Amino acid sequence: MISKSWVALAALAVAGCDLAGGGEATEAQRGDGTDTIELAEFPDRPYWGDTHLHTDVSVDAFGFGVRLGAEEALKFARGDTVTATTGMEAKLDRPLDFLVISDHSDAMGATRRLYDSPRILVRDPTLRRWYDMMHESPEQSTRAVAELITAAANDEIPAALRDPERQAKATRDLWDNHLALLDRYNRPGEFTAFAGFEWTLMPDGNNLHRVVMFRDGSVKTGQVVPFPGLDTQVEQLWDYMEAYEANTGGQVLAIPHNSNLSNGIMFDLVGPDGGAMSADYARRRARYEPVVEATQIKGDSETHPFLSPNDEFAAFGVAGWELGNLPLTQKSTPDMYAGSYVRSGLLRGLTLEQQMGVNPYAFGLIGSTDSHTALATGDEDNFFGKHTGNEPRADRAMAGQNLGTRVGRFGWHYLAGGYAAAWARGNTRAEIFDAFMRREVYATTGPRMVLRLFAGFDFSADDWDGDWVRAGYTRGVPMGGDLEDSGRAPVFLISALKDPEGANLDRIQVVKGWVDANGEAQERVYDVAWSDMEGSRRSVGGAIPPVGDTVVRREATYENTIGTAELRATWRDPDYRAGQRAFYYVRALEIPTPTWVLFDAKRFGFDLPADVVEANVIQERAYSSPVWLRPRRASDAPRTMGEG
Amino acid sequence: MIRRALRDPLAHFLIAGAAIWGGLALLGEPVDPASRTIELSRERQEGIALGFERMMGRPPTDAEMDAAVERWVREEVLYREALRLGLDDGDAVVRRRLATKMDELAGAEAEIARPSDEALETWLAARPEAYRTGGMTSFEQVYFASEGAARAALGTTGPQGEAISLPASMSKASSREIAERFGQQFADALADLSPSDALQGPVESGFGWHLVRVTEREDGALPPLEDIRERVEADWRGATISERRERAYALLREAYTVEVE
């Protein structure tokens, strides 16, 4: 055979005769971006990105219709114009700084392969039915994938799609090509392309998904393939991550998301087998999962009105998603919420830490899109849909979105998405990944507001007159950091700057969670600064008048005539008790603005029911990662930080 | 000569055979599907073991290795029988996968090739706009929430402005960086101001109003190749891979006549 093959190979060789040999790995292939660009002394600005984006090799995204791949996704994220699957030209008005393409590791590329197969070879009756549906029409294709997701949730995926050994072979080719592409697009100082995938564990349809994100170039990431989720346990994912780090010297982290669809098991009080959680499990979870995606298209997971009855802003992005698990095969009940939302997860972390000395849920917060269109759009006026089946068109807002099988969720329940902000000294894989590891990151529901949080013991309002960022880093800790109890109330320097292209700010709040003297978990939301504090919005008995509302519903417009450009606060915890175990995070709220649903109604000219209009004027927001206050361990020598 | 060879009907057969070989070559040493002897070389065994290790992060146990080898043999037997039956013919999946492999082979060399400086200089000269750096601006700014306050302060010496978490000055900032920090409206307005010792403005931004002193402006320029070599090379590589695929295809395609009924 070898001797007979020369013709075609000769043809290939002729085509490439101008390429001289050589084969040294480029910087991007070798590494993580260390020592590539000049770095700022301190993280001087947030870098914006999406860590959760699907392209045409994701089983569901392809089935839902997307035909754009990773290259289009990268081009779009860095600011180029691309043509969306449904034919519209699309371009971000502001490019992103980084992107993690996170296609599902299960059956990677499989729907595409199934779709491309000759029908006669599709023997499995279920697969053949899906195959026919995928070829029949976009609606039927969507329905087929909905069935596929439900089947996955119910552990009924046909064997042909689930054998990890067989799948790994198919994945290998895809992965190698993908990594080479990422290295080509990774550009230290300008745009960072991370390798990653989504691990999709979903016992009984309850969402335990994680996005896995690598710090390294293809020399290291090429030594593994994405780890499938079905039929595995989260501890096996950590085994995989641990082995990757040990074998390559690289680094990798995982990002849980859509805890709101987990029916209480994402932040469970017990271990995965239902028994008591072990300290080892807690340690590994904290080690490999430093951040959680708190907001995205499929709802906001910060908290729920049931859990936070005294928080007037708790209902954001909850409607529709609180009904049940991901495929709506199991209804949610209120007793499940505490394990499904981020704030109660953080509280449970404190409780578990008190019990066993390790906090499994000491995570930072980010937002991302989870878009399945290959387009990382996070703004209300550019929402390209959760998937290609609901790219912009007149009827998407009111269409049922129940994966085709059940009722309860509608198009308008989708949020336009979120973004992740990373405080880093420069735009490289190493800098941004490390910001994730130290939790110096925050979530927004889309707007690019600039949120700073420092915690220490000796900050005062005078710090604002000087170089307060330097003060923050040298005399305290930034968001994501740990403070050891000093016997005095912690003081926080907090600043929120509006998105330069967006809406003014209403207020900034501190959300505190702590374990009281009786061992009970408590939470409280403090308003710490708001617009016109000394004027028309003076606080009366702790109650602050609402900021107002300038949204013209029919026009999908608002005015920055209310609110303010920046809010700052020097805030000392008034409820501090020595020895308390607590976390503090900041929530910054914008003035009310219209959502994508109102933009759609204006663009396509249709009327919405009054309750839908009502629900689609929102206050977008940013959530900082928390700072944790930890009791000083008896064995520790007295610390002096902040005592001066 | 190659062109003539490609017109030869025999060549068509050879190309089809080579395509299959090409696909197999990526998996390891070439095999002859017609042979009923399956050789399990050391290299092949190592390949199987490595595949397992990549998947699981540890080497296989003996039992796992036996199972993996058994699976490989089974696949090999079925694969060869399938080729004997001509099942690859007219199969859309096999067809597409082999076509993809051919594309990959055509692009593979460009993935690792190191282009000469000359090739990159030519590339750069052909598309200077893509590499021209945007202008760099150095400026100081004083912020006011209202336009009136900014105007009133304009004539004063050393206006204090109001506190805001924006840089008081930026040095050699690109217009993209300025737009990210201050918004596009401010970046555009700043681009119209000339360097001067005097405060100018007020300039409106998404935050309010700014008095601005532009201290330095550098026009955009085309950097020398050594400064942007990696980027040029990456772009060259991306384009070259697609171009090579097209050329390889064009060369093969030329030998065929397509008749559409």
pLDDT digits (tens, 9 = 90+) for A216-268: 999 999 999 999 887 789 999 999 999 999 999 999 999 999 999 999 999 99
Please tell me the distance in Å from B92's CA to the nearest CA on chain A.
Answer: 6
Please tell me the distance in Å from B133's CA to the nearest CA on chain A.
Answer: 12
Query: Which H helix or E strand runs over B119?
Result: helix B117-126
Amino acid in the structure at residue B126: A
The mean per-residue pLDDT over the stretch A406-427 comes to 92
Q: What are phi and psi of B26, to 5 degrees?
A: -70, -20
The answer to whether the CB atoms of B116 and A239 lie below 8 A apart is no
Query: Which H helix or E strand runs over A151?
Result: helix A138-153
Residue A121: other Cβ atoms inside 10 A: 14
- Which residue of chain B comes nearest to A118, CA vs CA? B92
Statement: residue A164 has pLDDT above 50: yes
Interface contact B254, partner A, CB < 8 A? no
Residue A638: other Cβ atoms inside 10 A: 8
Amino acid in the structure at residue A363: F
Sequence-ordered list of residues with C-beta below 8 angstroms from that of A609, at least 6 positions apart, any chain: none
Q: What pLDDT score was predicted for residue B73?
A: 83
Statement: residue A431 has pLDDT above 50: yes
Interface contact B182, partner A, CB < 8 A? yes
Q: Tell me the chain B residues in contact with residue A185 when contact means C-beta distances shorter than 8 Å.
A: 234
For residue B59, whether the previous peptide bond is cis, meaning omega lies within 30 degrees of 0, is: no
Q: What pLDDT score was predicted for residue A158?
A: 82
Joined together, the tokens standing for residue A327 give 């495929």
Q: What is the pLDDT along chain B (261 residues), one digit of tens a residue?
A: 444 444 444 444 445 444 444 444 444 444 565 677 888 888 888 888 887 776 677 788 888 888 888 888 877 787 777 777 777 766 666 666 677 777 777 766 666 677 888 989 998 888 887 788 778 999 999 999 999 999 999 988 888 899 999 999 999 998 889 999 999 999 999 999 999 999 998 999 999 999 999 999 988 888 888 888 877 887 888 788 778 777 777 777 777 777 766
- Dump strand ranges (E) for A498-598: 505-515, 521-530, 566-572, 581-590, 593-594
Joined together, the tokens standing for residue A607 give 């009327």
Distances (CA, A) of A255 to A152, A214, A382, A435: 21, 11, 25, 14
Query: Do the Cβ atoms of B132 and B221 come closer than 8 Å?
Result: yes
What is the longest distance spanned by two Cα atoms in chain A? 90
Which of A5, A15, A45 is the closest to B247 by Cβ?
A15
pLDDT band at A156 (very low <50, low <70, confident <90, very high): confident
Q: What pLDDT score was predicted for residue A550?
A: 98
What is the longest distance spanned by two Cα atoms in chain B? 95
DSSP A194-239: E-EEEE---GGG----EEEEE-S-HHHHTTS-PPP-TT--HHHHHH
User: pTM, whole model, 2 decimals?
Assistant: 0.81
Q: Is A359 helix (H, G, I), strand (E, B) or coil?
A: coil
The answer to whether the CB atoms of A26 and B233 lie below 8 A apart is yes
Residue percentage of chain A with pLDDT more than 70: 92
Please tell me the distance in Å from B224's CA to the nearest CA on chain A.
Answer: 18
H-state helical runs in B145-224: 147-154, 175-182, 184-191
- Which residue of chain A comes nearest to B145, CA vs CA? A565
Interface contact B229, partner A, CB < 8 A? no
The answer to whether the CB atoms of B207 and A499 lie below 8 A apart is no
- Which residue of chain B comes nearest to A182, CA vs CA? B234
Query: Do the Cβ atoms of A337 and A264 come closer than 8 Å?
Result: yes
Least confident of A489-498, A598-607, B107-116, B138-147: B107-116
Give ipTM to 2 decimals. Answer: 0.84
Express each pLDDT in A294-306 by its tens digit: 999 999 999 999 9
Express each pLDDT in A319-357 by its tens digit: 999 999 988 889 999 999 999 999 999 999 999 999 999
Joined together, the tokens standing for residue A566 give 């920046």
- Which residue of chain A comes nearest to B241, CA vs CA? A16
Query: Do the Cβ atoms of A449 and A588 come closer than 8 Å?
Result: yes
The answer to whether the CB atoms of B252 and A8 lie below 8 A apart is yes
Mutation target among A566, A567, A570 for the B interface, most CBs of B within 10 A: A566
Amino acid in the structure at residue A98: F
If you average pLDDT over every residue of chain A, what do you get? Answer: 90
The answer to whether the CB atoms of A243 and B56 lie below 8 A apart is yes
Statement: residue A397 has pLDDT above 70: yes
Amino acid in the structure at residue B20: I
Q: What pLDDT score was predicted for residue B90?
A: 63
Interface contact B10, partner A, CB < 8 A? no
Q: Tell me the chain B residues in contact with residue A240 when contact means C-beta distances shorter than 8 Å.
A: 56-57
Report CA B80 to chain centroid distance, whole Å.
Answer: 37
Q: Tell me the chain A residues in contact with residue B103 when contact means C-beta distances shorter than 8 Å.
A: none
Q: What pLDDT score was predicted for residue B236?
A: 85
Q: What pLDDT score was predicted for residue A114?
A: 78
- Which residue of chain B comes nearest to A243, CA vs CA? B57
Helix pair B92-112, B225-253: axis angle to 10 deg: 150
Amino acid in the structure at residue A437: M
Query: Do the Cβ atoms of A417 and A446 come closer than 8 Å?
Result: yes
Joined together, the tokens standing for residue A22 give 């050589």
The answer to whether the CB atoms of A5 and B14 lie below 8 A apart is yes
pLDDT band at A16 (very low <50, low <70, confident <90, very high): very low
Sign, CA dihedral A236-A238-A239-A244, equals: positive
The answer to whether the CB atoms of B22 and A180 lie below 8 A apart is no
The answer to whether the CB atoms of B5 and A24 lie below 8 A apart is no
Q: What pLDDT score was predicted for residue A331?
A: 92
Q: Is A276 helix (H, G, I), strand (E, B) or coil?
A: strand
- Which residue of chain A comes nearest to B250, CA vs CA? A15
pLDDT band at A434 (very low <50, low <70, confident <90, very high): very high
Q: What pLDDT score was predicted for residue A69?
A: 92
Q: What pLDDT score was predicted for residue B80?
A: 78
Q: Tell me the chain B residues in contact with residue A183 when contact means C-beta distances shorter than 8 Å.
A: 234
Interface A:B, Cβ pairs < 8 A: 174
Statement: residue A165 has pLDDT above 80: no
Express each pLDDT in A23-60 by its tens digit: 467 788 888 988 889 999 999 999 999 999 999 999 88
How far apart CA A377 and CA A410 sit, in angstroms, is 20
